[in-house]
Amino acid sequence: MHTVLITGCSSGYGLATARHFHAQGWQVIATMRSPRADLFADAPGIRVLPLDVTDADSIARALEDAGPIDVLVNNAGIGLLGAFEAMSMSTVREIFDTNTFGTMAMCQAIIPRFRERGAGALVNVTSSTALASFPLVAAYTASKTAIEGFTGSLALELADFGVRAKLVEPGYCPDTRFSENGAERMQGLVCEPYAPFAAKVFAGFSQLTEVTQPDDVAETVFLAANDVSGRLRFAAGADAVALEK
């Protein structure tokens, strides 16, 4: 039986992905900063471990407790929406600490294990903001686009060791906690000069008919984790797929 470790499983994509892998008969290690086993009451057998991807000691403990795994899904992330002009660089660095450096740290920690076994898959969840330009997400886009280039290079340098690296690019999902998780950081980021423009942007998002659902991402992550074709990028959700064309 295969084993997957997934980061950021307390809600949204991570929660749906953990449940999907479990439904496919995989052993699942669901990680989050504050463990909540009750989230998987309907999926007994999923192991829940504490993990903060910005803390090296936390990463080491989680991987030690997890034991051998076949797939690592880097899903943990922080949203940030607002005018870049209004953002402090400390806020930008905080976003990069989780979205970029946290993903890199997880990969660096697990790669030696995969390389020594001659097998394994890294699935890094980014965003459709890497497929097209969107307003009011400049720092967030930068943090995710960095992982796009990072993963492309990893795919090349790890291939000879039998280790696969993949990207999953979800579209816009109004049902995740993207805004809620970043709420404190986003206060004041849509400052007065940008308010009229931001209102138009938000109105546009509210009228979208094709959006991404957590299950779309879960199914795409599973597809990417099992892909052996050499394909790197997997758009998730109808709106993300449309951007690929």
**Active-site annotation holds for 140:** yes
Here the tokens at position 33 are 């900063």
Spatial neighbors of 160 by CB under 8 A, at least 6 apart, are none
Beta strands in the chain (DSSP E): 3-6, 27-32, 47-50, 71-74, 120-125, 163-170, 233-236
The closest of 177, 128, 219 to 10, measured between CA atoms, is 177
Please tell me the distance from the alpha carbon of residue 22 to that of residue 232, in angstroms, as a whole number.
24
Measured CA to CA in angstroms, residue 8 lies from 5, 84, 185, 216 at distances of 10, 25, 18, 17
CB-based contact 41:243 (threshold 8 Å): no
**Residues 12 and 4 sit within 8 Å (Cβ to Cβ):** no
Q: How many residues make up the chain in this entry? A: 245
Give the residue among 188, 223, 221 at the shortest CA–CA distance from 82: 188
Q: Per the structure block, which two tokens stand in for 61?
A: 């403990």
What are the phi and psi torsion angles at 172 (to 5°)?
Answer: -80, 125
- Cβ atoms of 14 and 32 within 8 Å: the answer is yes
Active site residues: 140
